[in-house]
Amino acid sequence: MDVNELIELPEKFLKRLEEKGIKKLNPVQSEAVEKGLLEGINMVVASPTASGKTLIAILAAASNLFKRSGKVLYLVPLKALANEKFEEFQEFFSGMFKVAISTGDYDSTDAWLEDYDIIILTVEKADSLMRHKVKWMENVSLVIADEIHLLNDPERGATLEVVLTKFKELSPQILALSATIKNVEEIALWLDAEIVKSNYRPVKLRQGVLLGKKIRFIDGEQILKSKFSNEEALVEDTLLLGKQLLVFVSTRKNAEALAERLTRVVEKYISSKEKLQLKKLAEKLKNVLETPTAQCKKLATLCEKGVAFHHAGLVGKQRSLIENAFRENILKVIVATPTLAAGVNLPAFRVLIRDIKRFYPGYGSIYIPVLEYQQMAGRAGRPKYDKEGQAIILAKTEKAAKEIFERYILGEVEEIYSKLALEPVFRAHVLAFISQNQTITEEQLYDFLEETFYAYQYGDITRICDMARRILDELIEWGFVVQINEKLIATRIGKRVSDLYIDPESAWKIISALQKHKPTEFGLIHLICSLREMKPSLTVKNSEYKDIQSLAIKKSKELMIDSLDWIYVDEFLESLKTAYMLEQWINEADEEYIYQKFGVTPGELYARIEIADWLLYAISELATLIGVEIKDMVKKLRLRIKYGVKEELLELVSIKGIGRKRARKLWNANIKTIKQIKEVPLEKLKKIVGEATAEKIKKAVS
């Protein structure tokens, strides 16, 4: 279909398509248009990665914005994906419509979003805005749900399901995008949607199994001419073709170890020009933090040789630098954990899935789902660069190679199942539904549950209704809901718990602790580390038991949840170790010390800091409601956790350009306040923090 045939869209938008080099729609896009995409028809598009689903979303957005003047919501599961979509939509609609992104602060209505036309949100942020009953949600005419197969995800699936169920009541057009899934018909029937299901891919995908030096494809075999075998042989062959490679492994440790091993192959194929580019990249990666850690240095060393590892242990800036360098063909190989497959669009000519099994506690090492394999395989083949892409799984034996080929290359993807019945998430949504609707009956709650994917999939909702009744009893016992005759009403504190976006059970633990104990800083830190939101806690090694038990005795008078309140002693000790790690951080232990002492990487540390800040804010809000005055203590503690400093440095780190290390240097030089920074001669300041930083600091306080 030629874009000029899209007569429903204005000329200026069709011109924008042509400016982007889009003159024809591919088969998936054409089918979507033919089935009513531009007429407001609900639709589920299930097709492979790189099959053009983003353009389908753009066309639907344009149709709604030009014809209906309603808002467009684009829902994504991950912040990284939100940023990517924001850039794509902003570039496409610049000068026509205003694009916004919001992914954090779950206790905010983000009133400024009302002025925007296209709004990119994580699913959790959308859920939070609905709980806050923002008025502009009524003006949404199109909801685009990316990665709809994540209904199957134990963590995010239930929230995505509830958000879409609520939107079904508001009746905007719903466009759900997915990789190919087995039971797409079920999802489409639930959403009352047309189906566009296709195996079309603009770049042909060849799938195979590598054993030794031989790749077995469906349509033949390839022998790798290399002195190496397995991963190294495939890397060398890829580089000889002038291409790039993504390797997926199961753990962070495996990613770092394999990346290091592959440098001996890759560095031989780096040109002089590329070496200079890689050296600049390495410097940036190493100096992202104030003080480089061993991990930063290791990453920088490997990147100088053309290879990077990529996992959640890196900070966001490092991951972005690696992704951009790979897109620009500066980095040749990335060894990543599977989170990269579910995140940003980062294609390569070849994808190697090195670890097709994963260890699950209680189950051992088992094969990953076919859908997860497809997510990784979907990164193979770059449109505009490659005529084909290759997704290859590594096998260790002939028997394993045959089994892998049958299971993944010839096998069928699994069905998607509702995860609404997982209790912790469901509990929060029950309270949210009551709170959002102010006054409801039990029957109205069950009527809402009848509209969920769970209800459609299983037909009989007796089990989930029984769970809802039990949860209602808990919410009433905790004081979050009252039942007057047949009416269910969220109390003031119940409404606040829902708005704060925390598990009601966590809120009950917080309130109980605040009512029984006088808070201290460590007591509050341990309290947040005992909550579900901070899981998983740090594992206590056998060699650490005595030390952590001694810590428990030493801190016993400060603990707001003591060991007697825990069913499992190990869980208590693990929460205590996690709290001890955060205490070390606010007492100015640096990232390297945290990594060596606790095995917590900077990426993981900063993720926990973000969660800790959110939970401390929730504690402060709940404390105010029950008449416990700790606002000032919590405010200082939040700042200390944010900056990783002792209280004495809080004034200094509030100045732009002064981090924890520079603040300590200034303090040790007897410069302790903003007033003193204003008064100190510039030359003296330069000797303490360096010339460029000194000038920035002076400018910041002027």
Beta-bridge partners for 44: 176, 195
Percent of the chain topping pLDDT 70 = 99
Q: Are residues 261 and 380 in the same domain?
A: yes
The model's pLDDT over 136-174, given as tens digits with 9 standing for 90+, comes to 998 999 999 999 999 999 888 999 999 999 999 989 999
- Which of 500, 532, 566 is the endpoint of a domain? 500
Taking residues 669-678, report their average pLDDT.
94
Q: Is residue 165 part of a domain?
A: yes
Q: Are residues 176 and 52 in the same domain?
A: yes
- What lies within 8 Å, CB to CB, of 606 at 6+ separation is 315, 316
Q: Are residues 387 and 493 in the same domain?
A: no
Q: How confident is the model at residue 501 (pLDDT cuts 50, 70, 90)?
A: very high
Selected residue with higher pLDDT from 287 and 339: 287
Q: Is residue 10 part of a domain?
A: yes
Picking from 55, 600, 607, the residue whose alpha carbon sits closest to that of residue 319 is 607
The model's pLDDT over 190-234, given as tens digits with 9 standing for 90+, comes to 999 999 999 898 899 999 999 999 999 999 999 998 899 899 999
pLDDT at residue number 343:
62
Taking residues 628-642, report their average pLDDT.
96
Q: Are residues 470 and 534 in the same domain?
A: no
**CATH number, residue 249:** 3.40.50.300
Torsion angle of the four alpha carbons 683, 684, 689, 690, in this order, in degrees rounded to the nearest 10: 30
Residue with tokens 């959640």: 312
Q: Are residues 472 and 559 in the same domain?
A: no
pLDDT at residue number 290:
87
Q: Is residue 530 part of a domain?
A: yes
Q: How confident is the model at residue 394 (pLDDT cuts 50, 70, 90)?
A: very high
Would you tell me how many other CB atoms lie within 10 Å of the CB of residue 218?
10
Q: Are residues 63 and 156 in the same domain?
A: yes
Q: How confident is the model at residue 315 (pLDDT cuts 50, 70, 90)?
A: very high
Q: Are residues 550 and 433 in the same domain?
A: no
The yes-or-no verdict on residue 669 having pLDDT over 80 is yes
Asked if the bond preceding 536 is cis, omega within 30° of 0, the reply is yes
What is the total count of domains within the chain?
Answer: 5
The yes-or-no verdict on residue 127 having pLDDT over 90 is yes
Q: How many angstroms separate the CA atoms of 333 and 350, rounded?
A: 10
This prediction has a pTM of 0.91
Q: How many angstroms separate the CA atoms of 659 and 322, rounded?
A: 24
Q: How confident is the model at residue 79 (pLDDT cuts 50, 70, 90)?
A: confident
Residue with tokens 């900063």: 606
Which residue stretches of 587-601 are H helix?
Answer: 591-598
The model's pLDDT over 145-155, given as tens digits with 9 standing for 90+, comes to 999 999 999 88
Percent of the chain topping pLDDT 90 = 80
Picking from 192, 161, 165, 195, the residue whose alpha carbon sits closest to that of residue 178 is 195
Taking residues 31-59, report their average pLDDT.
93
For the chain, the first-to-last Cα distance in angstroms comes to 61
Q: What domain range is 190 assigned to?
A: 3-197
Would you tell me how many other CB atoms lie within 10 Å of the CB of residue 629?
8
Look at 356-365, 451-460, 573-582 and tell me which has the smallest mean pLDDT: 356-365
Which tokens belong to 657?
């350009």
Burial class (CB in 10 A: 0-12, 13-18, 19+), 671: buried
Do residues 472 and 481 touch, judged by C-beta distance below 8 A? Answer: yes
Q: How confident is the model at residue 562 (pLDDT cuts 50, 70, 90)?
A: confident
Would you tell me how many other CB atoms lie within 10 Å of the CB of residue 681?
9
The model's pLDDT over 6-19, given as tens digits with 9 standing for 90+, comes to 888 999 999 999 99
Q: Are residues 620 and 655 in the same domain?
A: no
Contacts 24+ apart (CB under 8 A), 686-693: 689/658, 689/662, 689/665, 693/657, 693/662
The yes-or-no verdict on residue 401 having pLDDT over 90 is yes
Picking from 249, 314, 252, 244, the residue whose alpha carbon sits closest to that of residue 284 is 314
pLDDT at residue number 76:
94
pLDDT at residue number 339:
80
Do residues 54 and 88 touch, judged by C-beta distance below 8 A? Answer: yes
Mean pLDDT of the chain: 93
- Which of 386, 409, 432 is the endpoint of a domain? 409
Q: Is residue 418 part of a domain?
A: no
Q: Which helix (H) or strand (E) holds 619?
A: helix 602-625
The yes-or-no verdict on residue 519 having pLDDT over 70 is yes
Q: Is residue 486 part of a domain?
A: yes
Q: Are residues 604 and 478 in the same domain?
A: no
Provide the 8-state DSSP code for 198: -
